[in-house]
Structure 1
Amino acid sequence: MSRFFSVSQPLLGNLRNEVRPAQRTISIPKAHPGYKKALQITKSHTKRVWSSTPVRQIDFRSPQRDISSHQLIKGPKVKGARTSPSHWLVLGAPLKKILSDLTKRPQHPNQIPVSSRRSKSAIMRSYVQVITTPTADTPGTTLLLHFDNKRYMIGNVSEGTQRACIQQKIGLAKLEDILLTGKTSWQNNGGLLGMILTVADVLITKAASLKENPGKGKKRRIGDTNDEEPKRVKIYAAENMNHLLATARRFIFRKGMPLDIIESQDFASAADAFAPSWSDSNIQVWAMDVVPDQSLSHHTRKRSHEEISGDETSEYSKQDVMSFDGKLEETAEQREDRYNQIRKGVIGHMFDSTWQMDALVSKKLSEVKMPAAIFVRNEAGKIEEYKGPLPSSDQYVPDIDVLVRNPWPGARIESLPPTSRSTISRSYIIKNYPQRGKFDPKAAKELGVKPGSSFRDLTMGKSVVTEAGTTVTPDMVMSPERVGGAFAVVELPSADYIEGLLNQKEWSSEKVMEGVKAIYWILGEGVFADERLAAFRAKYSHLKHIISSVDCCPDNIAFQSATVAELKLHLVDSERFPIPAYNNNLPSDASKSTDWIKAQVEDVLQLGESREAKEDKVAPKPFDAAKVLVELQSSANPGAPNWLDKEVLQLSQAAQKRIIDPEYLAKLAKVQEDIPCKDAELITLGTGSSVPSKYRNVSATLLRVPGVGNYLFDCGENTLGQLKRVFGDEMPQVLRDLKVIWISHLHADHHLGTVSVLRAWHEETSRHEETKSNSIIVSSEDGMLGWLSEYSHVEDFGYSRVKSLRLSHGNTWTNNFSSEEIDAYGLSSIVACQVTHCHQALAVVLKFPNGFSVAYSGDCRPSAEFARIGKGATVLIHEATFDNELEGDAIAKKHSTTANALWVAKKMEARRILLTHFSQRYQKIPVMDNSDDQIAIVAFDYMRCKVGDFAKVAEFRPALLKLYENEAGDE
């Protein structure tokens, strides 16, 4: 037999010296170029340590003349290991890199037995904290399971979840597992993409910091993960989560954060019907998938661990998955498996790719998709930028060889395999491991046991023999083992799911239910009142039943810091800055029964026992705007959150007097008499850049033209929630009047709220006979519209009623509306041009039949072409991400400064300018010079300003400058 090198992934018992059979083995023949190097590195980099973290095994399956036996884990025992604790081998970094390249995928959680995952001696704090309940700000319910070494997010990751974490100062560096409940839908998971991006950035930044400062990391404890290896984030969800994530391949790309998606079908069948679906070093999890009563329970094939762990790194996933064609004789299950491999391969490209931005590929000039940076080699062979004519020019252009950057792998995948909508709703039972009893040193001494190693052996579950020859067993000196704390998270989207949930076998299992303290119920509207749930609560009356539902939870303010900022602005100018709509009262039909508790943000349920464990924590009182307004005007504590400088109020009062002065109003009316639609209103819903922050949400601006319609410029995450806070009871009418959604470019902070807004529009207009046949325009570039189309296979959000306006190729594009379309949408034309920011970034001008027009820049560097197509615009909405002294940052990141935006406004001859999309790092009011013809103001979240009131807002600039004088950078 020829000599070969083998890499396998065994499971080593924590309290027993044993090696469980490896499930996957990759063999390297002796002739392989990496064989000698691996052999050499193994010899010099293998060492002994005490650890509880499983590692990969080195096994040579032929005579080992080159390596001494003490370096090997071979056969059922570890040679040279002491009896307790377990003896492990840790591989040096160079070998780990080789093994990582060869095996890539980690052990699937199902494969690791509970006994080998965690020592009963490990006692850590563990508790469940409520992060969100159903409100306008946060439509879903999110829980955080805390362990000292790790965090788990459980429930929904709806829009607004990320911002709620910021508000509550919840760090994400230790978040590795997300357990999603309910159906795969945007209402439940609309914040997941943004959350993944944030987690990826946190983990990548942390990894880079550790690489630069290897000694900076905290001292590792038993159970901690290895910070030197890329952290894997695992998402457990119902069907179609792979498809949902893969639809985002055109606008999400991160390197160095492997992402694993485990759907319903990925749990392999176990011999024990009550075995957990999966487990890790902290918890055991039982997943319960339920379908509604009217659905036929479709068969879901259970796949083996080998299939699951091989999905993302199979050879198929490395290929260019452009075609979905398979073998003609394949079964439906085989086809779906193949489709899922394609989706998982796409996700692998999105989060763990080796793509390099600086890599250039050769193409013919005619094949280059514009806009793109084009390079050529000069006569000396050096690369330089191509500045010659393009094929679109009128003159003849030779089709020369040029160099362009290859787009990231996900962008090259034109479409995904089809999927079907799933009705499965996921719930969980989650358990801690048992905790060992408390050691009684006094009793041990009385039995003749001497302190030291004998004490340690007894705490580890081993008997010892005293000098007198007496055998002392652990039960003689240890209190009884404590049952691990447990809880359930149940989601019922509608009453149709109740029967299937109550019939789950886990409820009747003593093994599964042992230690369960509480059930968190995430209920759809109208489900709570069902008598079957009341009977279930009565049967399990010894448990806490914590209800999270719109039927039971008030519409509290979730983003309190942003609301305090808005209330300060309200005291400055109450007309333009209204108090956000909210309601702290329980819904009128909420039950007065005492057998349940309403879920509240920051509620804590303690699970694990430790010296640091505390009683269950009760949530603080909800935000009360009236109380805060009083505090803002009366607080004598400068610098406190609820404090407002008296000078701000004085400056505000002076401005209020000016704008109601008859002489001022007469002059204003005269200089504005030629401006059309002075009563058109701009509502700035999100004015921050990049990611949601404590004070500003991401991009969205609504234009309301009375008697004509509503128009939305960009639609960042949680735009729907911002609309609800601004309009309150007006919200249904606002949705019915919505005509057009414009998305400027395919960056996450500009469009991840679109599905929610479209669904809300679809549901509201479908209720009324006069609007149920209406359509809505979504206009953008191909990638955005393709994303909506692909996601429509996951759920019905009204896509069939969307009229897509796709931009054709070229630098400028115009869509003129017919008379019938003018009646339907209120617009005479939409004109757009490409701008410098990202691929196919666009600026737009909406033109109305009466001469009113609004120009919107999206994200971009200043553009002369945009100024040309928007010539004479009534209103210009332009990004001003950076202040003027940060011009270098603006150029590097392809954004604009305040001065850049005002330059465009001057070239465009726009009458009114609204500056928005500010860097979240800089809370600063720019200094601007206004004239009667051109007035520029700064946008804030929740601001409502009519076109005819821009001049009035400008009068409050001294007060605003003073207000934000000392509030910069508090994010």
Structure 2
Amino acid sequence: MFTFLPVTHPTSDTKHPLLLLQSAHGDKYFFGKISEGSQRSLTENKIRISKLKDIFLTGELNWSDIGGLPGMILTIADQGKSDLVLHYGNDILNYIVSTWRYFVFRFGIDLSDHIMKDKEVFKDNIIRVKSFNVLKNGGNGTDEFFNSFQKGVLSSIVSKMFPKHAPTDRYDPSSDPHLNVELPDLDAKVEVATNYEISFNPVRGKFKLDEAVKLGVPRGPLFAKLTKGQAITLDDGTVVTPEQVLEKERHFAKVLILDIPDDQYLSAFVEKFKEYDCAELGVVYYFLGDSVTINDDLFKFIDLFEKSNYGKVNHMISHNKISPNTISFFGSALTTLKLKALQVNNYNLPRTDRVFSKDFYETFNKPLAKGTSLCESQETPLRTVIEKDNIHIFAQNKTVTLEPFHRSEESMKCEINGSVPALSWKQIFEDHIQPLGFPLADIDTVINDQLHVNNFNNTTEKKKHVEIITLGTGSALPSKYRNVVSTLVKLPYTYSNGDIVNRNILLDAGENTLGTMHRMFSQLAVKSIFQDLKMIYLSHLHADHHLGIISILNEWYKYNKDDEMSFIYVVTPWQYNKFVNEWLVLENKDILDKIKYISCEHFINDSFVRMQTQSVPLKDFNELIQENSGQEERKKLDLDTNSSYRDINLINQMYEDLSISYFQTCRAIHCDWAYSNSITFQMNESNKHDTFKVSYSGDTRPNIKEFSSAIGYNSDLLIHEATLENQLMEDAIKKRHCTINEAIGVSNEMNARKLILTHFSQRYPKLPQLDNNIDVKAKEFCFAFDSMIVDYEKIGEQQTVFPLLNKAFAEEKEQEDESAGSEDVEDVDITPKKQKKS
């Protein structure tokens, strides 16, 4: 028996489909896209992947499609997995993995790639997978972008990112000539979609002992030969064939996984599959990109697969206008609802609205809730030969089970189970909120009056105030209750004529930051936030702080590409800028023209500006590697002397564009190239003394000298990490983080006016330590929760509900917590002695 289980389907916060294939013995394979939020979905649904063997990536490989893969690999490695194979139909795969070389490093796991040419077959003792590579517009492109030398360099880089043994000395990938090497140039955009046919080894028929004895076959080795399908000859010359002593073997239905990125691929798919043998085809999964049109042309292609000889073909459709926008992370949504019951204006109800395809739902008579918005692609009904019962909507709980069948004697055994339950906020409120007995928390106040209400920047008063959205508040890796860290700060600027413009800045952006925003806000509100987004700041290179940045840049470009005067400032460690350039050349190089990059090091509060290392030219790679081979002391890379000069002109331009008085960084006490920052913004054109100073710690040990007493002193707002509870001082020192008391101590020394504590260890997924902390000298403070919207003027209001917070989460404390005791696996200094054990 084999089961196909959807891990994710297209929703606001899980962008694409991912399918888990599991055998009866627990062997596991991934098929599809590993978008941001995928590993959190595994945690949410308690899906274990310790027996995961292979990942078969489909379609194209933009960041939207595989943004969750780096974090997934890190987590799999930290769970002790020794090997993992990535399968794909194009040699761009090693280039993609190589772009992560400055922030993805794990020893002990052998990560390898298998580039599957068109119609190449992968086989193991369980499954047989055949690839189909489809070129956009049916072109004559290639599945090979690199020559043998370039492939060798990329393979070398990947092997050094995942070495079998840990380095014995302090290790910095940006100083390793095996890693800090220029990647090959890309001359053309990769426009190839990979698809797969999955088939299974047949099940041998039972051995008919009585028949064998009757035919005179002696017990022993000859029995074994017959069971293996070999004919035997008896001593008297009689030939006995397996068919005489074995029941008929049983077979499984075939499964097709077709990933169509956009309409320009469709004609090529028709050409590729018009002669496809559907004889034993049981299920076809269609992973359709957002821009694929639901119309007759699409279903003319789908109709090609209605030819099976052994029963009906089931068609499973994944598309953002067909799959439901269900709540992907219910644990987190329930936390938001409980907190909203205590502070109704500090949270938005998670949004589940979606515009569905009228063409699809009316043609196949699928149920939809009353009041659902519909759109149509054509005036006439869809023309198709497929019966409505054979079409299924791809969704998380829609499982497909294949069992063996006898050819010519019975139909294929393909069972589809699961339905999408309707979401009822009313029912959730009655089950989980009402029993808590919170004052003023009635269903009208918390639910009915808040449907589709946006509580960010939504009143005349708020428009004049600084506001903060703590989009993610956890550390290390996403958990059931907290996503990884990201904070958005809105800073209004008032012109002399009274007009107000917003400057939104994003302080770190962990995986699926964009998904959280889409779950919180309408498309119109998201557009407004991104049109006001002026800066992205990255504190350091740990994956839990930046795996969401590429998605943020893509979304920003969508709303600002037509504005010639619109640019975004990106302030990061220099290694991350290399990654951004290498990635966007692959995906959309036009975005690079809209980015103004400045190194964190160029804002350092120090006369000494560290130089970045010079990349090894691609042509010199082999020569340099040979020079370093066998040497105890590796040859040091050259330094880029120009990188020590601050980009004063660009810094001054940013000051002017964003009305900034001062921007400073200091070196954080965490890992190499980690920073804390302080930014002073001008707030009023008519009053140059009206300023607002925000300081952000990033990840660090308490830094009184450089942060509290220097760049951050007298901050209006301090946003500080408080990863660990106070009794875990030893862990805090080992992992270079702060306890809650230490974070408060930094604030007190800084003389910060207000304080937000965030970045809590996932071992405390629901509630940080609220009591037994030292006194906070700031006028107001609060603890951050995911999706919290807080007006700077009202930060202290949370303190009034402190007594009720423990009561709010009593229900969760009674349940087994999958995240309890989890290590900070993504927040790992790549120095071997600092590695966390799984």
Aligned residue number for residue 289 of structure 2: 524
Aligned residue number for residue 108 of structure 2: 256
C-alpha displacement of 1:776: 0.3
Distance 2:393 2:565 in 1: 39
Distance 1:765 1:710 in 2: 14
| 109, 131, 140: which one aligns with 1:297 | 140
Amino acid in the other structure paired with 1:860: T
Change (3 A) 1:405 1:424: closer
| 2:169 equivalent to 1:359 | yes
| 55, 61, 79: which one aligns with 1:202 | 79
| 2:67 equivalent to 1:190 | yes
Aligned residue number for residue 667 of structure 2: 834
Q: Is the 8 A contact 2:723 2:739 kept in 1?
A: yes
Matches for 1:528-927 after TM superposition, within 5 Å? 528-541=293-306, 542-583=312-353, 586-588=356-358, 590-594=360-364, 595=386, 596-609=391-404, 615-633=415-433, 645-646=436-437, 649=438, 679-706=465-492, 707-729=501-523, 730-766=525-561, 771-796=563-588, 798-808=591-601, 811-812=604-605, 821-822=654-655, 824-849=657-682, 850-864=690-704, 865-867=706-708, 868-923=710-765, 924-926=767-769, 927=771
Amino acid in the other structure paired with 1:536: F
Deviations 1:200-230 (A, max 9, x none): 11125xxxxxxxxxxxxxxxxxxxxxxxxx4
Matches for 1:435-584 after TM superposition, within 5 Å? 435-441=203-209, 444=212, 456-463=224-231, 472-504=240-272, 508-510=275-277, 513-541=278-306, 542-583=312-353
Q: Is the 8 A contact 1:346 1:410 kept in 2?
A: no
Distance 2:786 2:653 in 1: 35
Distance 1:589 1:570 in 2: 38
C-alpha displacement of 1:934: 2.6
Partner SS state of residue 728, structure 2: helix
Amino acid in the other structure paired with 2:605: T
Deviations 1:425-481 (A, max 9, x none): 111112112222344456556656677766554433244678999654321333323
Distance 1:597 1:488 in 2: 15
Matches for 1:53-202 after TM superposition, within 5 Å? 125-147=1-23, 148-202=25-79
Change (3 A) 1:247 1:887: same
| 164, 184, 201: which one aligns with 1:417 | 184
Distance 1:448 1:576 in 2: 83
TM-score by length of 2: 0.78
Aligned residue number for residue 120 of structure 1: none
Deviations 1:841-892 (A, max 9, x none): 0001121113112110000001121112111111110000001000110000
Greater Cα shift, 565-574 or 250-259 = 565-574
Distance 1:467 1:845 in 2: 92
Q: Is the 8 A contact 1:127 1:146 kept in 2?
A: yes
C-alpha displacement of 1:355: 4.4
Partner SS state of residue 794, structure 1: helix
Q: Larger Cα Rg: Structure 1 or Structure 2?
A: 1
Deviations 1:502-539 (A, max 9, x none): 211x65253xx442211111112342424232123233
| Matched residues, number | 699
Deviations 1:614-637 (A, max 9, x none): 933224525443321121145xxx
Change (3 A) 1:354 1:453: closer
Aligned residue number for residue 954 of structure 1: 799
Q: Is the 8 A contact 1:127 1:608 kept in 2?
A: no
Deviations 1:882-915 (A, max 9, x none): 0100011000000001011111101111111111
C-alpha displacement of 1:298: 2.5
Q: Give ranges in structure 2 of 5+ residues lacking alignment.
A: 307-311, 365-385, 407-412, 446-460, 493-500, 607-645, 683-689, 820-838
Amino acid in the other structure paired with 2:270: L
Deviations 1:738-774 (A, max 9, x none): 11101000010000100001001101223xx5x3540
Change (3 A) 1:277 1:345: same
Aligned residue number for residue 636 of structure 2: none
Matches for 1:396-407 after TM superposition, within 5 Å? none
Distance 1:828 1:965 in 2: 46
Deviations 1:152-172 (A, max 9, x none): 111101111111111111112
| 2:95 equivalent to 1:240 | no
Distance 2:760 2:512 in 1: 18
Change (3 A) 1:235 1:406: closer
Q: Is the 8 A contact 2:744 2:774 kept in 1?
A: no
Distance 2:182 2:775 in 1: 49
Distance 1:576 1:780 in 2: 30
Partner SS state of residue 346, structure 1: helix
Q: Is the 8 A contact 1:428 1:488 kept in 2?
A: yes
C-alpha displacement of 1:686: 0.7
Taking only aligned residues, the RMSD between alpha carbons, in angstroms, comes to 3.1
Partner SS state of residue 243, structure 1: helix
Q: Is the 8 A contact 1:601 1:619 kept in 2?
A: no
Change (3 A) 1:533 1:628: same
Amino acid in the other structure paired with 1:581: R
Change (3 A) 1:234 1:708: closer
Amino acid in the other structure paired with 1:785: N
Amino acid in the other structure paired with 2:716: T
C-alpha displacement of 1:341: 1.1
TM-score by length of 1: 0.67
C-alpha displacement of 1:482: 2.6
Deviations 1:40-87 (A, max 9, x none): xxxxxxxxxxxxxxxxxxxxxxxxxxxxxxxxxxxxxxxxxxxxxxxx
Distance 1:406 1:424 in 2: 31
Q: Is the 8 A contact 1:874 1:911 kept in 2?
A: yes
Partner SS state of residue 503, structure 1: helix
Matches for 1:317-336 after TM superposition, within 5 Å? 336=147
C-alpha displacement of 1:696: 0.7
Distance 2:298 2:808 in 1: 51
Q: Is the 8 A contact 1:817 1:827 kept in 2?
A: no
Higher relative contact order (CA 8 A, sep 6+): 2
| 2:130 equivalent to 1:286 | yes
